[in-house]
Structure 1
Amino acid sequence: MPVLSPEFFRRPEVLAIARELLGKVVCTEIDGELTTGRIVETEAYRHEGDPSITLHLQRKARQAQALYQPGGHAYLYTVYRVHTLFNITTHDAAHPDAVLIRAIEPLHGVEIMLRRRGLPKVARNLTAGPGVLSQALGLTPALNGELLSGPRIWIEDVGEVLADEQVIASSRVGLEYAGAEAVALPWRFRVKDSKWTSPAK
């Protein structure tokens, strides 16, 4: 399948990019092990009108330098010193916009994902959540700044286009610290009826 080019991510419309990533397939080849998953949930973060990104840039100043790259790079950072979150830079190097990948439907390399997650069998908690999907895909902060065109991380376009009625737009998760304005923004996008989306808050 064709790999999404950097130009896909270098458009200024981060909300459109977050919405259009639904149905695309994220792929990793880490230590010779291939894993893939269909993206079923994303969140958009925009430098304009989004208090959460301003606070993030202050709180994660060193790691967040990776946000100041042209669209199409991985921005990977840890929360609670445990979970790695997989974001994708968008727009250009002057605008710290990004899309957080929140959940995927596992496709290829499921046994590898189970081993990485320490799980005995396939269940929702394998990849339904930003921290667990990164673990399942083998993503760590060591890959921060990686260009998403391979050989270790890339996203394939399988030709799936979701109609508006197949997508749920709602508020983002865990942004209470950034205030009511950030919480109210309907910038979380989910595939309707997917059992692989992260728990609703």
Structure 2
Amino acid sequence: MDPSNFRKFLRGADPVAIARGLLGAEIVTQIDGTETGGRITETEAYWAPDDRASHAYGHRRTPRTEPFYADAGTSYVYLCYGIHELFNVITGPRETPHAVLIRAVEPTRGLPAMLARRHMEILRPKLSAGPGVVTKALGISRAHNALDLLDPTGEVCLLPPNERVPEAEIAATPRIGIDGAGPDWAARPWRFYRRGTRFVSRLNAFS
């Protein structure tokens, strides 16, 4: 994908299509002088204001959810269960609260730093397979909320995929951990991962 068209792509009206299209994109962090990065292998789409699983359901607008209403390509980082910081990419036209949760990445840069952050000695999928460990491995925290991810000088930068992942290589399943949103929303197949990669949070969750 041409980087000059990336913002336009993220501004699209369909977060499900964008969640598929973000497979293969790269997240690069420059934190405290250390560069790390990972190629996205798993995503989930959130389609507010209708989506009961979204923090912006019903156009909820609070200091916490304000990034949802910013331009596409803004970061949304929040604390889950008081433990894990989760990283999302805001999509859709401005004032339209769509988002894509990044659930897993495959390391591309700065592997020693990523291992150190996760207190690991050798590369295993658990390094960065799961939304709570993606942020730990890449050094992302709530300090990186509401950033423009397309700013090449920023601490967290989102780079477009070098090429689109073929549809045959994309698996779609229901999203994970949202049963409280009700059976209709919980059943929608809006979680995507790239087949053949080890870096997937729950490979057989719905097989």
TM-score by structure 1 length? 0.92
Instruction: Check if 1:155 corresponds to 2:151.
Output: no
Picking from 171, 174, 179, the partner of 2:174 is 171
Partner-residue secondary structure (3-state), 1:112: helix
1:127 aligns with 2:128: yes
CA distance in 1: counterparts of 2:57 and 2:80, whole angstroms: 11
The residue type paired with residue 163 of structure 1 is P
Deviation at 1:3, TM superposition (A): 4.5
Q: Is the 2:48–2:58 contact (alpha carbons within 8 Å) kept by the matching residues of 1? A: no
Q: Distance in 2 between matches of 1:155 and 1:2?
A: 13
Specify every segment of 5 or more residues in structure 2 that has no aligned partner in the other structure, as ranges: none
Cα deviation code 1:18-70 (max 9, x no counterpart): 10110111111111111111110000000154211267679994321211111
Letter in 2 for 1:165: A
Whole-angstrom distance in 1 between the partners of 2:58 and 2:64: 9
1:180 and 2:183 are equivalent in the alignment: yes
Distance 1:2 1:63 in 2: 32
CA displacement, residues 133-168 of structure 1 (integer Å, 9 cap, x when unaligned): 111111000111000123211122342221111000
Kindly indicate whether the alpha-carbon contact (under 8 Å) linking 1:57 and 1:64 is maintained by their aligned counterparts in 2.
no
Measure the CA separation in 1 of the matches of 2:187 and 2:134.
25
Alignment match, 2:202? 199
User: In the comparison of the two structures, how many residue pairs are matched?
Assistant: 201
Q: CA RMSD in A?
A: 2.1
Q: Determine if contact 2:48/2:56 at 8 Å carries over to the other structure.
A: no
Q: State the distance in 2 between where 1:116 and 1:144 align.
A: 20
Structure 1 stretch displaced more, 86-95 or 69-78: 86-95
Q: Which runs of 5+ in 1 are unaligned?
A: none
Q: How does 1:107-122 map to 2 (within 5 A)?
A: 107-122=108-123
- Aligned runs of 1:73-112 on 2, under 5 Å? 73-112=74-113
Compute the TM-score of the two structures, normalised by the length of structure 2.
0.89
